[in-house]
Structures are given as C-alpha cells and as structure tokens.
Amino acid sequence: MDTNQLIMGSIAFFGTIGLVLGMALTVHWGKNRDTGLMPYLFYPGLLSAAFFALTSHRDLTAYVDLLKASAPPEKNMASAWVGRIVSIFILFAFSERVLHRLFSKEKSRQVPGMLLFGLVVFFLSNVICPGLFGSHPSLTHENFYAMIACLAALLMNDKEASLLFNSARNAMFLFLLAGLILIPLVPSLVIANNYSGLIPLLNVRLSGLTNHPNALGALSIGYILCVWKFPFQNRLLNRTAWIVGMLSLILSQSKTSWIAFLCSAGFIIYFTYASQFKQYFLNHRRPFLSLFLIASVMLGILGTFIAFSFMDLGDHINHFFNSRTGSDLLTLTGRDIIWQVALEEWHKSPIFGYGLTIWDDDFRRSIQMGYATSAHSQFYQSLSSAGLVGVSGLFVYFSILLYYSLSAAKQSGGLTMALLTVIVIGCFSEAGFVLGNFDAQQCMEHILLLVLLAVCCQPEKKKQFASQRSPNLNNKKGWA
C-alpha cells in the first residue's frame, strides 16, 4: 500500500466516522430515547448473511468432504454493499448510545471494569498487534466493527439487553426457518447429500443460509437458548420455534454442536432446578443420588465386561476407526493438517504471528488448501495470526469471562455458563473469538454473553436474569 492510498483510506474512514457521529448526535438531540438501535443488531446482520448465501449460487455438494472442498464463494458487489450498510448501522447505533451515555442526566449503570479490560486486551493482542507488527501487517476499518459491537454490548442497559435477546431470537427464527424452507426449493443451496454421519440412514447435512453446517449448529444452539429463556407468548409459535431449532441442530450433523448443546442444556437445567436437586438427591434420609451413582457405575462396568467378552468389541472399535467416519473423528475431519500449517507459520513469526491476512484467499492458494478459511481452532488461530502475544491475550480474556460467567451463573439461571460453554467447545474445532471482522453468525453467542455479563455483574446490586416461564423466577418481563 503506497502513501497516497493510505492517506485517502484514512480520510475516507475518519470522514465516515465523523458523518456517523454527526448523524447520531442529531438523532440523540432530537429524540432522547432510553433505548437505541443496538438491540436490533442481528436483524441486519443475519439479513446480510442470508443475502450473501442467496446470491452466491453455491453448490454444497462440493463441501461434503472437507479435504476435497474448494474455496467458499467470494462476495459479489451487491453482497459487499449490504455488508457496508450493516457496518454503517453498527457505527451509527453505537455512536448514538455513546452520546446518550455522555449527555444523559440520569445515572447510567457501570460497565464491569475487568470485563472491559479483558475485551480490550484481547482486541489489542489478537487484532491490533498482529495487524501492525505481524510478519504480514495489514489493518483496515473492517477489523474494528466486531470490537465496536462488543463495546456496544457492554453499554446496553437492562431494557436494551432484554430487547436484544428477543430480537436475536426473532431474527434467528426467521433465518433458520428460511434455511429449512429452501430445502425442497433449492436443495443444492442449503443441503449436502451423500454425507456419512453418526445418525443411521440420514445421509444429508444441512448448512441452511450459513456458510457451513458447523456454523448452523452453533447458531441453532444460541437460538434454542434464547427460546428457552425468552419463549414466545403464543404457544403454537413457541412449539414451532422449538421444532425449527432442534431440526436445524440435528440436520447440521455437527458433532461438536451436539456436545455443546448437551453441556449447555445441563447448566440451564441444573441452575434452574438446583433447589429441587438438592431436596431429592442430597437428603440423607432418601439417598437417591448415592444409589443412582453406585448403580450407574456397576451397570457401566458390567456392560463393558459383557461387551469385551462376548461381542468382540475391540474388533468393532478397530473397524470403526478404520472407516471414513472414524478417521474423521481421529483427525477432526482433516483439521490436523490445518493445525500443522498453523504451527509452521507460528515458528516463522513466534511473537506477533503471521498477521490478520492469514487464511485469506492468497494464503490459501499458497498452501493449496482452499477450504482452510481459518485455523479451525481458537488456540491455533491466535497462535498463527498473533503469535505468543495473541495466545496470552486469549488466556487473559478467557479467564475473565470464566470468572464473570461463574459469578453470574445463579442470577442468570445458568445462561452465562451455557453461552460460554457453547463458545469454548466451539473453540476446539473452530475460531470462536475472532474479532477481526464482524459476522453476525459467528459473533452472536459472544455478544449475547457480554450483554448478559454486563447486566448481571453490577457492583451496586445483583441483577436477576429471568425467563418469562421459568418456575423459580419472579419477574415476568425477563429482568429483575
């Protein structure tokens, strides 16, 4: 990039910010609203993702086998402009809320300091440092929008947070429903055939309007959690919403998402019915828990002994891991090859990594892996793109998120731990904490978690996150 291009790009970027600030200031002075536009972030975000999928003319039969897959389709001009409109929306909505906080006479709630510190550390270590000091430095205005959305999440008040969860639920419902409706209409656009998964006789894998079945699985979990804690008032609509979410999750055939859903559901159930569990399982007069655990261990040992003695279980296990499905499990569908490439790039630049442009089109062509759009692991993503600095920032940020999630687990009915579990499990096979660009599909659980932590972890008083129909919560509007 020469000097003239840098100057013109800087003028355009800061000029856009100035224009957005001016518009936001005008709106703020004209209408001093308690709520802004940030709670409706996922409507334009998922609309942009849907528009890109519909205009890509993709054929998902090329994505059945990851190792034989080609590069994903590039954005056309129309999709690029829709993405720019979404970016302007984020800038505008965020600027209006910041101005509202600055000029509001009412006492605004505090942002948890350590949570803000962790977010800033992660952004500096995984975006700014590799963008400036990596072996291939590159930093553009697109690298800031995800961080802006996360900061806006920390600034939301209680009413805005409730609106965000409801709007996220509604937007995802329409997004997932559209993906299911398109199955009989344009099957090659949303579903892949001849897939060999763990479900017998189910040889299809749904991507919907997302860019990959794993993305659909993660999005489905976030949607189900929103429906669980913020159900629709209409009973028929709520049942339909559950069917749409569970059907999308099952058809995605994402084993990582299935595990994440079971773990997150366990947190919700435990923290919702913790008193009942203690009453029935920890009562020494009725030792149900002890008897249940002892019986389960005994049955497990007996079943294992019978399987190895009479069923040739060892041969079955060996045959399974020699099959294509077993091989995919051992190599995580070829991700071990991508991780090896990530390690090689880290060895070349151990401190600040390769830079933000790793895994872009040019890099994928250089390594002849068109399918490797990321390191498919948050650890290897940070290590390859940002080096030891990025991994250190990741560790600090995760530690702070874990502390706040545990602190707010009881107040949120387990939702903080459920969302964090979805993100962390996804980080083993995908890059769940990417702030280099804004993607509503990828950032959804992250933003919802930040909003929830900012609301629940207030220093002056404890907030009670509530479901409209949970039996142990008093508030009927979702927040106490």
State pLDDT tens for residues 123-179.
Answer: 999 999 999 999 998 888 888 888 888 888 888 888 888 899 999 999 999 999 999
Q: State the Cα–Cα distance between residues 248 and 12, nearest whole angstrom.
A: 41
User: What are the beta bridge partners of residue 206?
Assistant: 191
Predicted structure pTM score: 0.80
% of residues, the chain, pLDDT over 70:
72
- 428-435 mean pLDDT: 76
pLDDT above 90 for 475: no
CB-CB contact of 71 with 359 (8 Å): no
Please write the tens of the pLDDT for every residue from 376-407: 888 999 999 999 999 999 999 999 999 999 99
350 band by pLDDT with thresholds 50, 70 and 90: very high
- 141 token code pair: 């205005």
Confidence band of 204 (pLDDT split at 50, 70, 90): confident
Smallest Cα–Cα separation from 428: which of 374, 368, 387, 361? Answer: 374
CA distance 459 to 467: 23
Phi, psi of 465, deg, nearest 5: -80, 135
- What distance in Å separates the CA atoms of residue 356 and residue 363, rounded to the nearest whole number? 11
**Mean pLDDT for the stretch of residues 244-271:** 92
State the pLDDT at residue 293: 67
Report d(CA 14, CA 480) in Å as an integer. 40
Q: Residue 334: what pLDDT?
A: 61
- Least confident interval from 193-202, 280-289, 361-370, 387-396: 280-289
What does residue 366 show for φ and ψ, rounded to 5 degrees? Answer: -70, -30
Q: Region 420-441: what's the mean pLDDT?
A: 81
C-alpha to C-alpha distance for 29 and 440, rounded to whole angstroms: 30
Q: Which residue has the higher pLDDT, 61 or 401?
A: 401
Q: What pLDDT does residue 2 have?
A: 52
Q: Measure the CA angle with vertex 115, ends 112 and 121; round to 5°.
A: 140
pLDDT over 70 (residue 315)? no
Which stretch of 4-13, 249-258, 284-293, 370-379 has the lowest confidence by average pLDDT? Answer: 4-13
Task: Kindly state the average pLDDT of the residues 414-418.
Answer: 93
Domain ranges of the chain: 110-456
Positive or negative: CA dihedral 100, 102, 104, 108: positive
User: How much is the mean pLDDT over the chain?
Assistant: 78
Does 121 score more than 90 pLDDT?
yes
